[in-house]
Copies of this chain bind each other. A is one copy, B any other.
């Protein structure tokens, strides 16, 4: 969606390592914004993005108009399984993942890449795209790339531009809380409720003072996104919260086999 940051650049570098020709799509997708969400505020700076891509050695930027992607009138929609879209962010962002699945299907069919690189930061989106690509037999390999963070630990996001300096400090606590849970997990605690409690406890002062409005903290299976009571295979401990008016998400992957 443009407003490229170092997280995006990490995807570009990975793609450049593995391919001769890399295409970057830049498209703020109206279909994945709900009523009252920040479609019109969402940061856009195509010239800055172009320079980032040029510096990273990108061959092609694909930045279509909404009318080129959606035409006029109703469009065909791609609806992922409800089991993947109804939980986590799907509870508050109704229709969001249908919009994501639809535009990603279009972009993959237009560009026809061998591989497509997505950030683990949007963990639910990634699981959904994997499922859509598998279900529709789209001949593209989905590659997940690790979350890139600022020095404070805050997961990079174009929406971090909305945060003032106080918010930035508050926002960093989200990852710190996940890290405390990860440490607890590594010490042998595999129970979901216990790990969730650790996160909430770490954030309790911010929550009490309403500096953080916690939307969810959940432990789910990394692939199916079904809630899990214990970490038994790859699980995702995912959080969503508002800091000021800005909705942020983050996650860590917990794996009893400790390989990912």
Contacts and interface: CB of A to CB of B under 8 A. Distances in A.
B138 A109 contact: yes
A132 B106 CA distance: 11
A133 B134 CA distance: 18
Contacts of A55: none
A4 B71 CA distance: 36
Interface of A: 71, 73-83, 101, 105-106, 109-110, 112, 131-132, 134-139
List the 3 shortest-distance A-B pairs measured between CB atoms, nearest first: A74-B81, A76-B135, A109-B137
Contacts of A132: 76
Given A101-B76, A131-B76, A136 B81 contact: no
Given A105-B136, A106-B136, A74 B78 contact: no
Contacts of A82: 74
Contacts of A83: 73-74
Contacts of A138: 109
Contacts of A77: 78-79
A257 B109 CA distance: 34
A164 B109 CA distance: 46
